[in-house]
Amino acid sequence: MSIKNNLFKILKNIPKNVKLVAVSKTKPDEDILEAYDAGQRIFGENKVQDLAAKQPRLPQDIRWHFIGHLQSNKVKYIANFVDMIEAVESIKLLKEINKQALKNNKTINCLLQFHIASEETKFGLDMDEAEEILKCEDFKKLENIRIAGVMGMATFTSDENLIHNEFNTLRKYYEQLKQKYFSDKEYFKEISMGMSDDYQIAIAEGSTMVRVGSAIFGARG
């Protein structure tokens, strides 16, 4: 199937209020353009070098989401154009994003990444760590970042129950944070969860944003 057909098939499967991030990591410009020409505007990359190389070559109205682990010293390479940094897990990184956003006279949307999987290898905060960030005085001074919600990845498993439970946990984290820290903040509204193999489960558990790569662009080499 073509990229365009894959994309339309997925769009048919997700409700209108759920955003689709087309994860184009490792894929060439022509693949991205095929999805773009079919109407897709939000794309996700997980390597700074790749994203910084692709962005100038591709249409300027693409909204780029950085979905990988971001090192503070690399924020400067993407700050001037990135729309959302999805995987923030430290105050140090937030401070650097704020600094670079300020330099570029803009506000950068960020999501707090939570560790919900049972696998040790995945990145992310637990609730205590997230609250530590949100309560600290340094955080309150950051005026050029906006915490737009939460993000997480489920365990890579065929156990659908486990995946349901993990996504449900992320939704609960979101609701707790919303109530405690963001009840008057309309922009705190995103729960980014769900990938090619589990986006339908994620949507059933309240996802507002799915990040789908291989089901659109095919398997990565």
Ligand X SMILES: *Cc1c(COP(=O)(O)O)cnc(C)c1O
Instruction: Tell me whether residue 149 or residue 213 sits nearer to ligand X (CB atom).
Output: 213
Hey, is 48 helix, strand or coil? helix
Contact between 23 and 212 under an 8 Å Cβ cutoff? The reply is: yes
Minimal distance in Å, beta carbon 196 to ligand X?
Answer: 3
Instruction: Tell me whether residue 7 or residue 142 sits nearer to ligand X (CB atom).
Output: 7
Joined together, the tokens standing for residue 189 give: 């509204």
Q: Round to whole Å and give the CA distance between 7 and 39.
A: 9
Q: Which residues bind ligand X (CB under 6 A)?
A: 23, 25, 46, 67, 153, 195-197, 211-215
Contact between 33 and 61 under an 8 Å Cβ cutoff? The reply is: no
Instruction: Tell me whether residue 132 or residue 159 sits nearer to ligand X (CB atom).
Output: 159
Minimal distance in Å, beta carbon 185 to ligand X?
Answer: 24
By Cβ distance, which residue is nearest to ligand X? 213
- Identify which of 189, 108, 200, 186 has the alpha carbon closest to the alpha carbon of residue 154: 200
* Tokens 């300027």 found at: 60
Instruction: Tell me whether residue 131 or residue 197 sits nearer to ligand X (CB atom).
Output: 197
Joined together, the tokens standing for residue 191 give: 């729960």
User: Which amino acid is it at 150?
Assistant: V
Minimal distance in Å, beta carbon 220 to ligand X?
Answer: 7
Minimal distance in Å, beta carbon 77 to ligand X?
Answer: 18
Instruction: Tell me whether residue 110 or residue 142 sits nearer to ligand X (CB atom).
Output: 110
Q: Round to whole Å and give the CA distance between 12 and 137.
A: 44
Minimal distance in Å, beta carbon 215 to ligand X?
Answer: 6
